[in-house]
Amino acid sequence: MSNKVAKLTLDGSAEPIDLPVLSGTLGPDVVDVGGLTAKGYFTYDPGFMSTAACESAITYIDGGKGVLLHRGYPIDQLAEHSDFLETCFLLLNGELPSTSEKEEFTNSIRYHTMVHEQVYEFFKGFPRDAHPMAIMVGVVGALSAFYHDALDITNAEHRKLAAHRLIAKIPTLAAMCYKHSIGQPFMYPRNDFSYSENFLHMMFNTPCEEAKVSPILAKAMDVIFLLHADHEQNASTSTVRLAGSTGTNPYACISSGIAALWGPAHGGANEAVLNMLYEIEDESRIEEFIARAKDKNDPFRLMGFGHRVYKNFDPRAKVMRKICDEVLDDLGVENDPLFRIARRLEKIALEDEYFIERKLYPNVDFYSGIILQAIGIPSSMFTVIFSLGRTPGWISHWNEMISQPYKIGRPRQLYKGSTQRDYPKK
Ligand code: ACO
């Protein structure tokens, strides 16, 4: 703890209230307002714009400088030298694995890829046109029904097993959502494949035809998962922490994270990018949409441009842009009208004064939407892919919280309703 103290003077109070100032290893100092309740005050911060809700050692973001570190390692270095499963291990355990640790971890994830046969029965109850996120919220939460043997959250071994089960089974469930929507039989996982090869196999192969998964597409998928693996205390991660703080089981916590991610303001942006590209429809209409994006009286915004936190550049978008080029090249679809529109939009945004002045760069969702579309994944599955990638982050934050002394999350409020009144006599 630093020796710094903030002094809060309130009208009418004789003495200022001393508030300790805490310093992290990186980032701004934090004023500890925990003692204010005893003095009869709460703080007010809707949207938690100025509130650190916890102490964490997992991920650090400096939006102004375009920095994203997992356990201290920059995201671009992880994307280049690591892979998704190794990054999962890093997030969960704090250090990169040794060769034998990586092998053991990978084998454990492989071992847990199948879901209980009775889970297949759940799918029959969902309409074919159900949104895949609606199914994910249900089936991930339902996993807790199958693992009574290992639901003691105070037991570190149980927590580890739940983490491995979730990382292993969520791709299986995600692919099942897709197969259910198109009426094809579910594909069992293939444990001789890598994590992302197996996912693409379960998505696109059928019992009649098993095509070899392209290594470029498998790599692109792996990088998409890796780039989404964690993003500190975002809305879904905070939801997982809040749910977990009640002592509920990890499957219920991750299901609540999936529910929070579903919203268009969080996980739904890359789906919105695709919808926008379809709406533009033709290159000749790009100027019209750019003009609308700049028009103050028009609520339309270019989807996939700008970011709340990254004001100079999004380090994940830089990596994603390179992968996007490789995928479009591999599939030979650069001349597809949709991708031509995307390329033109990107060029205009990088050269146009309006976008430059406001630092509105293409964000990670812009490129991930294009890559997923090129791979043949329907846009309704995009948020599901995001939830798959974010699972290790959610689990790591849940585990970090449960491993230390913690309190149930219970925000307070600024009450603006009626004062006490009597029920009318009849
Ligand atoms: N298209 C056109 N103009 C934009 C856009 C856009 N996509 N984004 C921001 N602007 C303009 C605003 O009109 C505003 O202009 P003004 O200063 O002349 O009034 C200025 O840029 C600043 O905009 P804010 O809304 O203050 O920026 P904020 O940080 O609040 O918003 C956000 C960030 C929500 C991401 C916004 O840029 C946006 O709506 N983008 C499109 C949706 C999108 O891609 N979301 C995904 C984000 S990435 C992620 O979540 C992983």
| Residue 297 DSSP SS3 | coil
Distance 219 CA to ligand 1 centre (A): 30
Q: Residue 293 CA: which ligand 1 atom is closest? A: 2
pLDDT at residue 114 tops 60: yes
Pocket around ligand 1: residues whose beta carbon is below 6 Å from it?
269, 293, 301-308, 358, 360, 363-365
Look at residue 349 in the predicted model and tell me its pLDDT.
85
What is the DSSP secondary-structure string of 146-201? G-GGG--TT-HHHHHHHHHHHHHHHHHHHHHHHHHHHTPPPPPP-TTS-HHHHHHH
What is the DSSP secondary-structure string of 298-358? -----TTB--SS-SS--HHHHHHHHHHHHHHHHHT-TTSHHHHHHHHHHHHHHH-HHHHHT
- C-alpha angle 374-271-252 in degrees, rounded to nearest 5: 115
* Residue 99 confidence class, pLDDT cut points 50, 70, 90: very high
Residue appearing with tokens 């003095």: 39
Give the neighbor-by-neighbor strand order of the sheet with 5-8: 5-8, 17-22, 30-31
Q: Are 166 and 250 in contact (CB under 8 A)?
A: yes
Look at residue 380 in the predicted model and tell me its pLDDT.
92
Q: Which amino acid appears at position 385 of this protein?
A: I
Distance 76 CA to ligand 1 centre (A): 24
Burial of 378 (0-12, 13-18, 19+ CB in 10 A): middle
| CA-proximal residue: ligand 1, atom 14 (nearest) | 358
CA distance 221 to 193: 14
| CA-proximal residue: ligand 1, atom 26 (nearest) | 308
Distance 199 CA to ligand 1 centre (A): 33
Closest CA to 254 of 151, 122, 388, 391: 391
pLDDT at residue 184 tops 70: yes
* Residue 187 confidence class, pLDDT cut points 50, 70, 90: very high
| CA-proximal residue: ligand 1, atom 15 (nearest) | 358
pLDDT digits (tens, 9 = 90+) for 281-294: 999 999 999 999 99
Look at residue 309 in the predicted model and tell me its pLDDT.
84
Query: Annotated catalytic sites, by residue?
Result: 266, 307, 365
Look at residue 272 in the predicted model and tell me its pLDDT.
87
- The mean pLDDT value for 97-125 works out to 97
Q: Are 394 and 237 in contact (CB under 8 A)?
A: yes
pLDDT at residue 120 tops 90: yes
Mutate to test the pocket of ligand 1, among 227, 307, 319, 361 (most ligand atoms within 8 A of CB): 307
pLDDT digits (tens, 9 = 90+) for 336-394: 888 889 989 989 888 999 999 998 988 898 999 999 999 999 999 999 999 999 999 99
* Residue 2 confidence class, pLDDT cut points 50, 70, 90: low
Q: Residue 304 CA: which ligand 1 atom is closest? A: 44
| CA-proximal residue: ligand 1, atom 39 (nearest) | 301
| CA-proximal residue: ligand 1, atom 17 (nearest) | 358
Mutate to test the pocket of ligand 1, among 301, 309, 345, 352 (most ligand atoms within 8 A of CB): 301
Q: Which residues pair with 17 in a beta bridge?
A: 8
- The mean pLDDT value for 288-302 works out to 94
pLDDT at residue 270 tops 90: no
Q: Are 65 and 314 in contact (CB under 8 A)?
A: no
Distance 358 CA to ligand 1 centre (A): 9
Look at residue 311 in the predicted model and tell me its pLDDT.
85
CA distance 119 to 128: 16
pLDDT digits (tens, 9 = 90+) for 27-43: 999 999 999 999 999 99
Look at residue 1 in the predicted model and tell me its pLDDT.
55
Average per-residue pLDDT for the chain: 94
pLDDT at residue 101 tops 80: yes
Distance 29 CA to ligand 1 centre (A): 27
